[in-house]
């Protein structure tokens, strides 16, 4: 016991020892865990989320230590924390959250910059003040048109157009650019007109209301021809609000699946509503976390969509003229890709890459014929289109379908075999070397090209052997135009790449857009139309038949390239 009149040092706030070892260990452990997460293979899509979570929890732990465990005086505590609090206040006073990039990294923009919706409202006031001209719309589909999501037959191929890749001598000519409503919809292009889906404010009973809007524009001018809005709004702060699917043009009508459920059939020349049905309500289905994204498939007399309902209400067919339900089948959760039709063992089947994996349905009654489980993360994010090899002219590709997804899933070549009176799906090979998160892929001469997360990658289709990876394009999109691959990079750049299994061969690039872009580009004849969640633009491209460049004029890419033999876990 201390002598009378003496003060025990342990009882003196002024002399109490501060143990800094514990918070230093927490900080070291937090940094170490983040480093380990960043180095882990096959976790690309979740690296940012997990790392930010660890950083946030570590920061909270350090703040709690300062406040309650450090033994510091309150003036000292406030002196330590005040600079960080002030920095946060200043940052969020200057910037606002604007969604996520494809790698889940938060995006911030100036709080004083107009929002995309404010920019659209200003533009719409100017457009509404203009006198609308009478227009006769011809929607007869030609061989160079792009009538729906990923073009004709949903393959992402424009075979009738051969681009001149010498963009230094013949740069793309910008025809127009203007604001558009929120959403990740693409364009359908037929003749002189193009169609997309946007989130806008419309007038209803004299009051402004939120609506997802199908819009018709002139291809060469960008002038709005007509619009039809259905009140409602799909809102998701991380993925962004607004439309997901792309309209389909068929026999003079426009079919559009809205992100919150309504399936619309519109008169193509006027935008008049012919019929509508809410596929979620009609099939007792819940919406997806990121919203309905599948574009309608027109097959014979049917318009086919994936509602994702249980009890046999997953894939649904409606009569294309009346909206009457014809059949439904399967009980799987919907995914984010779109249904397509292909021949399996000589008979047509509807194939869908849904929430559980790859599934085949009988188009006569919707009966599920086979399935191949391929789950992509807890939210089951299957975005890329399945690719029946025979439809791409691959030798010995009959009854084989290529699929790819992110969130730890990877790629697989699935073979559909006959089994008695039915079918079974088996894996020919599987690979983690190509994990496509958002983008569909390109097949050329027995090789598949796609974005392995953010890096362009080439695999041999027969065995899944990796050939190369090179060029970072973010979480963008790919289509094939003639003998070239056209990439819409996530940062807005448009890039031409020659499909070459021996090396990454970038030919040309130009800045088409200036913000995050997840939308699929559309190309009809010489007109490339691109958009994101705030603007759209149209460019006129030079074709090979007009000006043929020398074979050696296109420079190879300087971008990072890694031979397959040196490939890392990326």
Tokens coding 13? 């706030």
Burial of 410 (0-12, 13-18, 19+ CB in 10 A): buried
Does residue 402 lie within any of the structural domains?
Answer: yes
How many other CB atoms are there within 10 angstroms of residue 342's CB atom? Answer: 20
Q: Is the pLDDT of residue 565 over 80?
A: no
Q: What is the mean pLDDT of residues 432-438?
A: 94
pLDDT in tens, 296-309: 999 999 999 999 99
Show the CA angle centred on residue 23, arms to residues 17 and 27, nearest 5°. Answer: 155
Burial of 7 (0-12, 13-18, 19+ CB in 10 A): exposed
Q: What do you get for the CA distance between the two ends of the chain, in Å?
A: 65
Q: Is the pLDDT of residue 15 over 90?
A: no
| E strands in 432-534 | 442-444, 447-452, 455-460, 466-472, 477-481, 484-488, 493-498, 505-511, 522-524, 527-531
Q: Are residues 445 and 485 in the same domain?
A: yes
Q: Are residues 280 and 298 in the same domain?
A: yes
- Tell me, what's the pLDDT at 57? 93
Q: Say how many domains are in the chain.
A: 2
- Tell me, what's the pLDDT at 133? 73
Range 271-277, long-range pairs (CB < 8 A, 24+ positions): 271/214, 271/216, 271/226, 271/227, 271/228, 272/228, 273/228, 275/322, 275/323, 276/230, 276/323, 277/318, 277/323, 277/325
Tokens coding 270? 């006027």
Does residue 200 lie within any of the structural domains?
Answer: yes
Q: Are residues 98 and 130 in the same domain?
A: no
Q: Are residues 98 and 123 in the same domain?
A: no
Contact at 8 Å (CB) between 193 and 137? yes
Q: What is the mean pLDDT of residues 375-390?
A: 90
Does residue 4 lie within any of the structural domains?
Answer: no
Contact at 8 Å (CB) between 317 and 326? yes
Q: What is the mean pLDDT of residues 463-487?
A: 97
Tokens coding 481? 């135009």
Q: What is the mean pLDDT of residues 342-348?
A: 97
Q: Are residues 307 and 163 in the same domain?
A: yes
User: Distance (Å, rounded) from C-alpha 86 to C-alpha 136?
Assistant: 60
Burial of 485 (0-12, 13-18, 19+ CB in 10 A): buried
- Tell me, what's the pLDDT at 398? 97
Q: What is the mean pLDDT of residues 265-280?
A: 98
Q: Are residues 197 and 214 in the same domain?
A: yes
Q: What is the mean pLDDT of the chain?
A: 91
Dihedral over alpha carbons 275, 279, 283, 287 (to 10 degrees): -160
End position of a domain, from candidates 94, 110, 126: 110
Show the CA angle centred on residue 258, arms to residues 255 and 264, nearest 5°. Answer: 35
Tokens coding 38? 């960043």
Question: Bridge partners of 211?
Answer: 200, 231
End position of a domain, from candidates 65, 90, 110: 110
Q: Are residues 69 and 121 in the same domain?
A: no
User: Distance (Å, rounded) from C-alpha 478 to C-alpha 500?
Assistant: 15
Does residue 3 lie within any of the structural domains?
Answer: no
* Confidence bin at 549 (pLDDT 50/70/90): very low
Q: Are residues 47 and 180 in the same domain?
A: no
Could you tell me the residue range of the domain that residue 474 belongs to?
116-566
Does residue 137 lie within any of the structural domains?
Answer: yes
Q: For 209, phi and psi rounded to 5 degrees?
A: -135, 150
Q: Are residues 137 and 96 in the same domain?
A: no
Q: Is the pLDDT of residue 537 over 70?
A: yes
- Tell me, what's the pLDDT at 552? 42
Q: Are residues 123 and 254 in the same domain?
A: yes
End position of a domain, from candidates 84, 110, 136: 110
- Tell me, what's the pLDDT at 41? 66
Show the CA angle centred on residue 551, arms to residues 548 and 553, nearest 5°. Answer: 90
- Tell me, what's the pLDDT at 2? 45
Q: Are residues 73 and 159 in the same domain?
A: no
Of the candidates 43, 101, 163, 140, the one whose C-alpha atom is nearest the C-alpha of residue 406 is: 43
Tokens coding 25? 């260990």
Q: Which residue has the higher pLDDT, 105 or 498?
A: 498
Does residue 14 lie within any of the structural domains?
Answer: yes
- Tell me, what's the pLDDT at 547? 56
- Tell me, what's the pLDDT at 550? 44
Q: Is the pLDDT of residue 5 over 60?
A: no
pTM over 0.75, yes/no: yes
Q: Are residues 442 and 427 in the same domain?
A: yes
CATH number at residue 382: 2.130.10.10
Does residue 1 lie within any of the structural domains?
Answer: no
Does residue 217 lie within any of the structural domains?
Answer: yes
Range 410-419, long-range pairs (CB < 8 A, 24+ positions): 410/42, 410/434, 410/435, 411/435, 411/436, 411/448, 411/459, 411/464, 412/372, 412/374, 413/389, 413/461, 413/464, 414/358, 414/372, 416/344, 416/345, 416/360, 416/370, 418/345
């Amino acid at each position: 016991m201390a002598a009378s009149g003496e003060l025990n040092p342990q009882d003196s706030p002024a002399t109490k020892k501060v143990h800094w070892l514990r918070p230093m260990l927490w900080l070291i452990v937090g940094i170490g865990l983040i480093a380990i997460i960043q180095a882990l293979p096959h976790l690309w899509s979740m690296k940012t989320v997990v790392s930010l979570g660890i950083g946030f929890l570590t920061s909270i732990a350090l703040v709690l230590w300062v406040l309650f465990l450090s033994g510091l005086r309150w003036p000292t505590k406030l002196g330590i924390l005040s600079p960080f609090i002030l920095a946060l206040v200043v940052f969020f006073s200057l910037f606002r959250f604007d969604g996520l990039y494809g790698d889940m990294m938060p995006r911030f923009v100036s709080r004083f910059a107009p929002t995309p919706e404010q920019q659209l409202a200003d533009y719409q006031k100017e457009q509404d003040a203009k006198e609308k001209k009478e227009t006769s719309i011809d929607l007869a589909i030609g061989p160079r048109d792009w009538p729906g999501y990923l073009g004709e037959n949903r393959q992402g191929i424009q075979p009738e157009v051969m681009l001149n890749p010498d963009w230094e001598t013949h740069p793309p000519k910008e025809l127009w650019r203007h604001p558009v409503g929120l959403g990740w919809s693409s364009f359908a292009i037929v003749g002189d007109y193009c169609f997309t889906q946007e989130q806008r404010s419309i007038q209803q009973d004299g009051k402004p209301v939120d609506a997802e809007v199908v819009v018709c524009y002139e291809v060469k001018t960008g002038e709005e021809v007509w619009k039809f809005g259905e009140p409602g709004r799909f809102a998701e702060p991380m993925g962004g609000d607004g439309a997901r699917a792309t309209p389909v043009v068929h026999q003079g009508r426009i079919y559009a699946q809205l992100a919150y459920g309504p399936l619309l059939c519109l008169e193509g020349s006027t935008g008049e509503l012919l019929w509508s049905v809410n596929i979620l309500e009609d099939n007792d289905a819940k919406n997806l976390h990121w919203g309905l994204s599948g574009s309608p498939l027109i097959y014979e007399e049917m318009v086919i969509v994936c509602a994702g309902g249980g009890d046999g209400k997953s894939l649904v067919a409606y009569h294309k003229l009346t909206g009457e339900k014809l059949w439904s089948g399967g009980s799987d959760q919907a995914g984010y890709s779109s249904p397509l039709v292909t021949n399996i063992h000589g008979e047509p089947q509807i194939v869908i890459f849904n929430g559980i994996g790859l599934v085949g349905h009988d188009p006569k009654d919707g009966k599920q014929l086979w399935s191949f489980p391929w789950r992509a993360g807890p939210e089951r994010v299957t975005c890329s289109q399945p690719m029946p090899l025979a439809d791409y002219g691959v030798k010995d590709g009959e009854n084989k379908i290529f699929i790819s997804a992110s969130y730890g899933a990877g790629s697989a070549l699935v073979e559909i075999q006959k089994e008695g009176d039915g079918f079974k799906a088996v894996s020919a090979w599987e690979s983690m070397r190509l994990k496509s998160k958002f983008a569909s892929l390109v097949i050329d001469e027995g090789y598949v090209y796609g974005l392995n997360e953010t890096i362009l990658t080439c695999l041999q289709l027969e065995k899944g052997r990796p050939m190369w990876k090179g060029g970072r394009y973010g979480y963008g999109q790919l289509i094939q135009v003639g003998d070239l691959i056209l990439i819409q990079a996530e940062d807005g750049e448009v890039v031409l790449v020659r499909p070459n299994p021996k090396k990454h061969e970038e030919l040309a690039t130009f800045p088409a857009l200036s913000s995050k872009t997840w939308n699929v580009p559309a190309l009809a004849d010489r007109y490339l139309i691109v958009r994101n969640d705030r603007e759209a633009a149209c460019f006129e491209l030079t074709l090979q038949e007009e000006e043929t460049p020398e074979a050696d004029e296109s420079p190879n890419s300087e971008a990072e390239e890694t031979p397959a033999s040196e490939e890392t876990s990326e």
